[in-house]
Amino acid sequence: MKIGVLVMAYGTPSTPEDVETYYTRIRHGNAPTPELLSDLQRRYNAIGGTSPLAERTAAQVAEIKKQIEEIAPGVFDVRFGSKYEPPMLEETAESFRAEGFTKVIGLVLAPHSSSMSTTQYFTRAKAALGEGIEFVEIEDWYHLPGFLNLIAERVTQALAQIPAERRDTTEVLFSAHSLPERILANGDTYPEQLRLSAVGAAELAHVDKWDLAWQSAGRTADPWIGPDILLVLREKFASGVTDIVSCPIGFVSDHLEVLFDIDIEAQGVADELGLNLVRTTSLNADPEFIAVLANLVVERAQ
């Protein structure tokens, strides 16, 4: 019997008509208000109507499957399951159970772990797999040298776009998806993981001037972890920074949180201020990045 590999990601609506259903799932069955729905549709429309996340994720999963097969021919069976959009992760987990798998590796396409992100994926997958199946959870991989090296390379490439005479007034801004502050009361290490990944990438890129910011906070009444990147950009400009390299290190592909929240919203603030903003390129299905994940899965299986 092969070892199952359940690759999981957030998911995104396939068409503009799917946005309301998708948003309702995210809100745990509560339909969004017309204002919230309109705002989300506005953001999708700004990047072309839908997010390329589904296509990007499919390419990542295909490359993971290809590379794992090259490392260990015939040993693994790689399948994808989404948190909020078909194929749902429970459906994929149940397919492993139905076919008699006894061991499944769980991998979330997010480098950092949190009680409100990766833990939820694993809890749902484990429940769907049921008793009698060994479930190996790969909780986080933000610290892996291969991952950090690739981030550092992209930071270096972005810095190369900035004139040498302005390097002294340039900063790298690492960011990740904000989460409600209530996770901190239970000792969630998500913010510390972001800091450590930024420290590692900055050291490898030989960058001294860098900072952290949070982005993409939800439209809820709860307080979310900050400071928000839009506020940080204003503060950096006021302190004399002329150029920003935006590195959304918490995301591994081009999607709404990168293409709108950074490329449109943050870029809009930078343009307003006269601040030059350059974003690092996303990892997407870069074979070198996928090799990091493929090797991690094989190592954890052993």
Mean pLDDT of 5-10: 98
Mean pLDDT of 49-66: 97
Evaluate the omega torsion of the peptide bond into residue 52 and state whether it is cis, within 30 degrees of 0.
Answer: no
Give tens-digit pLDDT for 165-177.
999 999 999 999 9
Mean pLDDT of 239-262: 98
Mean pLDDT of 221-226: 94
Tell me the three state secondary structure of residue 245. Answer: strand
Give tens-digit pLDDT for 43-56.
999 999 999 999 99
Give tens-digit pLDDT for 9-46.
999 998 999 999 999 999 999 999 999 999 999 999 99
Domain ranges for the chain = 3-140+285-301, 145-279
Name the E strands within 64-207.
Answer: 76-82, 103-108, 134-138, 170-177
Tell me the three state secondary structure of residue 217. Answer: coil
145-279 architecture in CATH? 3-Layer(aba) Sandwich (3.40)
d(CA 298, CA 76): 9
Mean pLDDT of 144-160: 98
6 backbone dihedrals φ, ψ, rounded to 5°:
-100, 105
Global pTM?
0.96
Give tens-digit pLDDT for 82-117.
999 999 999 999 999 999 999 999 999 999 999 999
Task: Judge whether 3-140+285-301 and 145-279 match in fold.
Answer: yes
The whole-number pLDDT of residue 63 equals 98
Query: If pLDDT is split at 50, 70 and 90, which confidence band does 223 have?
Result: very high
d(CA 174, CA 249): 6
Mean pLDDT of 126-132: 97
Topology at the third CATH level for domain 3-140+285-301: Rossmann fold (3.40.50)
Give tens-digit pLDDT for 238-250.
999 999 999 999 9
* Number of other CB atoms surrounding residue 173 within 10 Å: 26
Query: If pLDDT is split at 50, 70 and 90, which confidence band does 219 have?
Result: confident
Strand-pair category, 243-247 with 170-177? parallel
